[in-house]
Structure 1
Amino acid sequence: MAQPIEMPGNWRYFQFGNAASALGWLILLAGLGLWLGSGMYTVGPSQVGLVKRFGKFTRSTGPGFHYCLPRPIESVVIVDQRSVRTEEIGFRSRAGLPSTRYPTQEEEALMLTGDFNIIRLETIVQYDVTDAETFAFQLEDHRRIIREAAQAVIREKVALHKVDEALTEKREEIASQVQQELQELLKQYDTGLRIINVRLQEVTPPTKQVAAAFDDVNSAVQDKERLIFEAKRYTNEQLPRAEGMAQKILNEAEAYKQGRILTAQGDVARFAAVLDRYRLGEDVTQARLYIETMESILPHLNKIIVNQEAGGTLKLLNLDEFVRPNKGGAPKK
C-alpha cells in the first residue's frame, strides 16, 4: 500500500515537468515567429530596396510593403534614389544661422586664379542617385567622393580664368564647366551618381580690404550690364517703330508715284485724242478749244462786254458801278 501513497507526489512532479517543457516550446515558437517576422520591410515612395542573400545582391524592390527571408539568410539595403542630395564646398551650413554667418572651410574655399590671385569660393553641388546598386555596394563614402572630386574640378576651372572673370561675368560659365566636368569624372569612377546643378554661391577676395575694391568693380560691371540691357531694350522698342514709319513713308511714296504715273498717262491719252481730232479739223478744233477755255474762265470774272462799233461810249460809262456785284452776287453785264 505504500506506492499508492507516494503517487500523488510523483504526479505533481510529472505535471511540473510538462509545464516547463510547454513553456519552453512557447518561447521557442515566439522567437521563431519574431525571427520570421523580421523579414518584413517597407520601401518609401522615393526609395528602392536592394535585397542580398548571404551577402550577394539578388533583386531590387520598389515602393510598398515587402518581405524577405530574415537575417542572416537575406538582408535589405534601402536607398533613397529620387531625393536631391546637397554637398557644400568651402562652408558648412548651420540651422538657425543666416548664410552670411556660416562657418567657412578655408582649406576648401581658397582657390588660385589664372593670374595668380587668391579668391574664396563657396560652392553648392546638388546630385541624386541613378544606379542604386552601384551606389549602395561599391561606394564606401559617397559624400567624400563628391567633395574631393568637386574641389579638384573647381580648382582646375578657376585656374583657367582671371580673378576679375571669376568674380564677375564668368561665374555662370565656370559653374557650367564644373558641372559638366564633374559629371564626366563621376561617370569614369562608376559611382552611380548624377550631378543636377553646381552653383557658385559666394565668390569673394580673401581679405576685407580687397573685397571692398572688388565689390566696387562688381557693382560697376553690373551697372554696365544694366545700361547695356536698357539700351538694347530701347533699341528693340524703337527699331520696329522706325521700320514701320519707314515702310509707311515708302508705301505713301509708292502710292503717290503710281498716282502721278496714272495721271500722266491719262493726260497723255487725252492729249493724244485731242491731237487726233485736231489733225482731222484744225480750225474747228482750235475754235472749240478756245470756246471751252473761255467757258471755264469767263464765269468767274467781272467783265463788261462792249461792241466795237460803240466808239467813245466806254469813256462815258461808270465802270465802278458796272463791275460792282449786284444783290444776287453776280456782276453786271
Structure 2
Amino acid sequence: MAWNEPGGNSNNQDPWGGRNNNGGGNGGRKGPPDLDEALRKFQDRINRLVGGKKRSGGSGGDSFGSGGGKGLLLLGVLLVGALWLYNAVYVVDEQEQAVVLRLGKYHETVGPGLNIYFPPFETKYQENVTRERAYSKQGAMLTQDENIVEVPLTVQYRITNLKDFVLNVDQPEVSLQQATDSAVRHVAGSSTMDQLLTDGREQVATSVRERLQRFLDTYATGITVTQVNIQSASAPREVQEAFDDVIRAREDEQREKNQAEAYANGVIPEARGAAQRIIEEANGYRDEVVARAQGDASRFSQLAVQYAANPQLTRERLYIETMQEVLGQSSKIMVTGQAGQNLLYLPLDKLMQNRAPAPTSAISSGAAPAASSDTAASVIRNLPQSTEPRTRESR
C-alpha cells in the first residue's frame, strides 16, 4: 500500500522521515513533500557532517545560507583533493620506468617504487623497459640482379632510454617501422636473389639489424634492436617452378661435392701411407747396405792383419771357405783325378729326389735312411784315389 494512500499509512510518515500533519510546513495538505523541504533536510545533514549548525525554522528559500554554502564548498574541496591524491600517487614496477615532465620540461626519471607527482603541473610517462617487443612486416623487394622477392621479417626491440623515447620523437615506434623499410630495401637492393632465398639470409638479417640500429641512433629514439629474423623468403609465383629447379640443382651440386670430399678423404691417407712405407723400406735398405759394407771393411782389415802374420795358412783357409760357400749352393758336382782319368758326375739333386722317405719312428729315433747312405758310400768308394784332386762346378 502506498505511503500517501488514504487509510494506508496510519503514521502519515513520508519517505524522507517527515510527517504529514495539518500543522506542517506544506500547508496541511497531503501528498508528495515539497522539494525545498527535501533540500533543506539534505543541507542539515551535510552541515552536521562538516560541523555546521542545523537551522530549526525558516522557509525553504532560506535553506541555502552562508553556512551551507561553506560546507558544500569544503566538501567539494575534499572530494577534489581526494581525486587529485588518487591520481598523483603511482607505483612503478621492477620492469618499468617513468619520466616526469614539469611544465613540459624534463624533470627526472623515476625507478621502481611508490612515487608521487603533481598534476597538472607535472606529467608522467610510464613504460616497460625490459620487455622484448616485436612487430612483423612483409613486402616486395627489388634485388641487385633486378628480381622481385617477397621478404617477410620480424623485428625484436626494447626501450633502453625512456627519456629519448618520450621526448625526442613524437611516435618512435612508427619511426622504427619506417626505418625498417628503408634498411631492408637498402640491403635487399645490395644482395642477389639467391642470397635472400637460400644461404645468405643470416648475413642479410645481420646487415639489416646493423643499418636499422644506426638509423635509430641517429634519430635518438631510445630503442635498441635485439634481433631481426628474416623468414622463408619466396620468389614470385610466375618464376617459382624455375627457382625450384635451381634449388634442386644446387642441392645436387652440394651432394656431388660431399661425395668427392669423402672419396678424397679415403684415398689421400692411403696414398700417404704407401709413400711413407716406401720411404721406410728405402731407409732400411740403405742402412742394411751401409752396415754390410762397414762389416766387410772391418773383416778385410782383420784378415789383412792375420795374412801378414801367417800368409800360407790364411790362403788355405780362404780357399776352403770359398769352396765351401760356392759348392754349398750347387746341386751338381764334377770330380776328376790327375793324368786324364775319367770324369765322375755326382748328381746330388737326383740323390735327394730318389731318397726314400724314412719312417716317422726312424726319424724320431735318429736313424739315418739306409738307401741314401749306401748309395753315397758306394759312390765315394768308386772315386779315383789321387793326392791332389781337382773339383769344379758344372753349370
TM-score (norm 2): 0.58
Q: Deviations over 1:262-302 (max 9, x none)?
A: 23322332233334434554432221123334566778999
| Residue 260 to residue 233, structure 1, CA distance change in 2 (3 Å) | same
Please tell me the residue identity of whatever aligns with 1:39: V
* Residues 129-150 of structure 1: per-residue CA shift (max 9 Å, x gap): 3333322433333332222212
Residue in 1 aligned with 2:242? 213
Q: Structure 1 residues 216-225 or 77-86, which shifts more? A: 77-86
Q: What residue is the counterpart of 2:67 in the other structure?
A: none
2:216 is the counterpart of 1:186: yes
* 1:58 alignment partner, one of 105, 108, 114: 108
CA distance in 2, matches of 1:161, 1:321: 93
**Within 2, Cα distance between the matches of 1:193 and 1:172?**
22
Residues 24-45 of structure 1, C-alpha deviations (whole Å, 9 max, x = no match): 88x949964992696341423x
Residues 203 and 300 of structure 1: CA distance in aligned 2, closer, same or farther (over 3 Å):
closer
Q: CA deviation at 1:122?
A: 1.5
Counterpart selection for 1:259 from 288, 291, 302: 288
CA distance in 1, matches of 2:209, 2:88: 43
Could you tell me whether the CA contact under 8 Å between 2:336 and 2:343 is conserved in 1? no
Using the aligned pairs only, state the percent identity. Answer: 29
Deviation track 1:6-41 (CA, whole Å, cap 9, x = no partner) reads xxxxxxxxx96774116988x949964992696341
Query: Counterpart of 2:152 in 1: which secondary structure?
Result: strand
Matched, 1:289 2:336: no
2:390 aligns with: none
Mapped partners of 1:84, 1:263: distance in 2: 83
8 Å Cα contact 2:109-2:163 kept in structure 1: no
Mapping for residues 1-333 of structure 1, pairs under 5 Å: 19-21=48-50, 28=78, 32=82, 35=85, 39-44=89-94, 47-52=95-100, 54=102, 56-61=106-111, 66-72=113-119, 77-90=125-138, 109-206=139-236, 208-236=237-265, 239-240=268-269, 242-293=271-322, 327-328=367-368, 331=373, 333=377
Q: CA deviation at 1:59?
A: 3.1
Whether the 8 Å contact between 2:92 and 2:98 is mirrored in structure 1 is no
8 Å contact kept, 2:92–2:115: no
Q: CA 1:16 to 1:242, structure 2 compared with 1: closer, same or farther past 3 Å? A: same
Per-residue CA deviation, residues 208-247 of structure 1 (Å, 9 max, x unaligned), is 2311211221222233234324433554565455445543
Show structure 2 runs of 5+ residues with no match. Answer: 1-43, 52-70, 359-366, 378-395
Secondary structure of 1:122's aligned partner: strand
Distance 1:69 1:127 in 2: 30
For the structure 1 residues 299 and 229, does the alpha-carbon distance in structure 2 shift closer, same or farther, using more than 3 Å as the test?
closer
CA RMSD across the alignment: 4.5
Amino acid at match of 2:131: S
Contact 1:124 / 1:199 at 8 angstroms: preserved in 2? yes
Choose 1 or 2 for highest CA Rg.
2
In structure 2, give the amino acid aligned to 1:81.
Answer: V
Structure with the larger helix share = 1
How many residues are treated as equivalent by the alignment?
A: 291
The whole-number CA distance in structure 2 between the counterparts of 1:38 and 1:268 is 114
8 A Cα contact 1:167 1:218, kept in partner: no
Give 1:104's aligned residue: none
Native 8 Å contact 2:197 2:234 kept in 1: yes
Provide the TM-score with structure 1 as the length reference: 0.66
Q: Residue type of the partner of 2:134?
A: T
Whole-Å separation in 1 of the counterparts to 2:164 and 2:271: 62
Pair 1:249–1:182, CA change in 2 (3 A): farther
Report 1 or 2 for greater relative contact order, CA contacts < 8 Å, sequence distance ≥ 6. Answer: 1
> How many angstroms apart in 1 are the aligned matches of 2:49 and 2:232?
72
Residue 264 of structure 1 aligns with an amino acid whose one-letter code is A
Aligned to 1:79, what secondary structure does the other structure show?
strand
Going from structure 1 to structure 2, the CA distance change for 1:229 and 1:195 (only over 3 Å counts) comes to farther
AA aligned to 1:83 is: R
